[in-house]
Every structure is written in structure tokens, then in C-alpha cells.
Amino acid sequence: MINQDRLLNTFLDLVKIDSPFGEEGEVARYAAGRLRGLGFEVHTDDMDNVFGYLPGTGEPLLLNAHLDSVDPCRGIKPQVGADGIIRSDGSTILGADDRAGVAAILETAHVVTGTKIAHRPIEIVLTVQEERGHAGSKHLDYARIRAKQGLSIDGTGPVDSFSIAAPSHSGITAAIYGKSAHAGAAPEAGINAIRVMCEAIARMPLGRLDAESTANIGTIQGGTASNIVPDRVEITGEVRSHSERKLQTHTQQIVNELEDAAVAARARADVQITRNYMAFRLQETNPLVSLVAQTAEKMGLEPSFVATGGGSDANEFNAHGIHTLIVSPGVMNEHTTTEYVALGDMVKCTELLVAILGVV
């Protein structure tokens, strides 16, 4: 069954390999090598996404985690406490997001290949560049994926809290073009782009807009000198919503405020909206959700099903018809230098995966 030392060592090996997004080659080779050694059918694509398949009985189950990390993530020196909690030395993140997920999947692969108990076919997909707009899962070859159900081991917080919904996300890039003039000699000849933009922003719906939606303007840049009426200013922002309709309504309102403010000031607005990912929501009656709930209860856990405010690989899998929920391997404080994970939680997560595959 689960070998805690092996799981811990796998995790420590993984975090010691530098893998900022876009540089996952070495960690991809490590994971692919481990899966090959266990008899998985393995291939990697030209982005370094790793695919592993092990035949079995019944419907295949996709297990996903991502190989990349956010900065500062070079030279991670994991420290294992007597309490089984693993942290960085404080100068970097730990990288448990998401190498705790990768380690849990590799340990699951060990357990399943070491047993004679029948199990579901396992389809492992370890992605690159999840932290950069899910670029790995966005561009992988879905024609090769057999599973219709998946677990993305990329959650944070308690192991018995599962994410079954995530929002859609639209990015906003906008510029206001005014007219430059000398601010002292001829201000009436100018159109102040910064002022027009500020008027638009002041009217935008921002922050938490309703129970399902948020919006933000995150950057602003413009102007050249204090004595020149600025002729150009640019912003970037975003809208997220669990409701497609609300996403569109809020996004449109932001576009309207930009255009109205520009027209009123005889300036010009240039607005670009990019759809970054699509929302998903699995119903509690979904067979995969029921299976996870029953399995967790049998293990003595108290499963809860929640919505997350962030996007991840699970959005891409769901958008391609693979019902995927997000499982936490127990990662805490992700994306910070105080990130940590308890070995006990990684073990619990692995037990859950093994049980869901049918090996109990």
C-alpha cells in the first residue's frame, strides 16, 4: 500500500528540481521516467506535458497535476519538521503547489501497479505552464485523451474540501487616446486622456459585484510629463463570474463606461476583451462527485463541495467535456514563502485517489 517514505522522498526530489513556468523540461523527464519505470505507456508533447496510461477495468480516470511553479522558486531547500510539516527555508516558495499533487499521483501509480486488485484505467496528465494561463492544458491534444472523468490534484486547504465550480475569466486591455498640448500655454487645445480614463474607472462596477462575480482594474499607465496634457493612457483589468450571463453583463458595462467617457470628452477608446477561460460547475448529483463523496465518507472524512474563485487546468478539462473536480493534497499559503504541506495530508490525498480508482 502507500509508502510514506517513498511519497515524501518523491516530493522532496520534485521540489528540488527548479521548474518555473516555461522551464519544466527536467521535472517532466523525472516524472515521465518514474511512470515508465512502473510500466505506464508514457509520452510527452512538444510543450513537455507528460501523459501516462495504465490499462485497467471500467472507465478510465484522468489524474492531473501541474509541473510548474511561481517565483521565487529556484533553489528550493525543503525543511521537514518533526511534525511532518514541510516548508521552504523562507527564501523561496515550497512548490507544493503543485508538486504535492504530482507526488500524490506518482505514489498512486506505485500503489496501483504493485497490487493485484482490479482498478480503473489510469490516465495521468501532468501539465506545464498552468500558472501562465493554463497554457499547457489549453494547448494539449485532447483527441488523445480517453477519460471522461478527472481529478485535478491542484487544490489548497483541507483534503476533504473539493472544488466543483470555478469562474469564467475575461481580460480587459483598454486605452484612451486624447490630445496632447502644453499644459501651461494651451491647455484648452488638449484632451486629457488620464482624466477621461479616471472618469470611466470611477463609474465601473469593480470589486465583488454579486455572489458570483468580481471585477478589477489592476494596472494603469500613461502620460509623459507634468507639463504636457497626456494624450494616451492604458489600463488592464479582469472580470470573473461563475455565471456566463453575468460575466457578459459586467464586462459590457465596463466597455460602455470607457466608450461613453471617451465620447463625452471627444477622446477615443480602444478596448480589447480576451476570454481566458470558461466557468464550470459540476452538480452534486454528478456521478464523479457522488463517487468522491462516498469514498471520502468511507475513509472517515467529512467531504464538502465548494466553488473556487480562481481558474486552473480543471477549467480546460471541463471545457473539453472531461468532468473534472479539484482535490487538495493539503497545500497551505500557496504562492508565498510561507507555503507548507503536511506529509499526513499528502498521504490522505493519495489514499483517496487509490480508493477512487477501486484499490481498497
User: Residues with catalytic annotation?
Assistant: 68, 130
Piece of the chain touching Zn ion by CB under 5 A; list 90-98, 141-149, 222-230, 293-301: 90-98
Q: Does 24 bind Zn ion (CB under 5 A)?
A: no
Q: Does 351 bind Zn ion (CB under 5 A)?
A: no
CA distance 354 to 356: 6
97 versus 231: smaller Cβ distance to Zn ion: 97
What residue type is 188 in one-letter code? E
C-alpha cell at 240: 470573473
Shortest Å distance, C-beta 97 to Zn ion: 4
Q: Does 98 bind Zn ion (CB under 5 A)?
A: yes
Shortest Å distance, C-beta 130 to Zn ion: 6
Piece of the chain touching Zn ion by CB under 5 A; list 80-88, 151-159, 184-192, 292-300: 151-159
97 versus 107: smaller Cβ distance to Zn ion: 97
One of 97, 231, 238, 351 touching Zn ion (CB under 5 A): 97
Shortest Å distance, C-beta 106 to Zn ion: 16
97 versus 123: smaller Cβ distance to Zn ion: 97
Do 8 and 347 contact (CB within 8 A), yes or no? no
* Three-state SS sequence of the chain: CCCHHHHHHHHHHHHHCCCECCCCHHHHHHHHHHHHHCCCEEEECCCCCEEEEECCCCCCEEEEEECCECCCCCCCCCEECCCCEEECCCCCCCCHHHHHHHHHHHHHHHHHHCCCCCCCCEEEEEECCCCCCCHHHHCCCHHHCCCCEEEECCCECCCCEEEEEECEEEEEEEEEECECEECCCCHHHCECHHHHHHHHHHHCCCEEEECCEEEEEEEEEECCCCCEECCEEEEEEEEEECCHHHHHHHHHHHHHHHHHHHHHCCCEEEEEEEEEECCEECCCCCHHHHHHHHHHHHCCCCCEEEECCCCCHHHHHHHCCCEEEECCCCEECCCCCCCEEEHHHHHHHHHHHHHHCCCC
CA 357 to chain centre: 24
251 versus 350: smaller Cβ distance to Zn ion: 350
Q: Does 154 bind Zn ion (CB under 5 A)?
A: yes
Shortest Å distance, C-beta 252 to Zn ion: 31
Shortest Å distance, C-beta 235 to Zn ion: 27
Shortest Å distance, C-beta 86 to Zn ion: 16
What is the total count of residues that contact Zn ion (CB under 5 A)? 3
Q: Does 68 bind Zn ion (CB under 5 A)?
A: no
73 versus 254: smaller Cβ distance to Zn ion: 73
Shortest Å distance, C-beta 28 to Zn ion: 16
CA distance 200 to 66: 39
Piece of the chain touching Zn ion by CB under 5 A; list 37-45, 153-161, 191-199, 211-219: 153-161
87 versus 250: smaller Cβ distance to Zn ion: 87
CA distance 147 to 149: 6
Piece of the chain touching Zn ion by CB under 5 A; list 74-82, 95-103, 197-205, 297-305: 95-103
Subset of 43-62 contacting Zn ion (CB under 5 A): none
24 versus 154: smaller Cβ distance to Zn ion: 154
Q: Which residues bind Zn ion (CB under 5 A)?
A: 97-98, 154
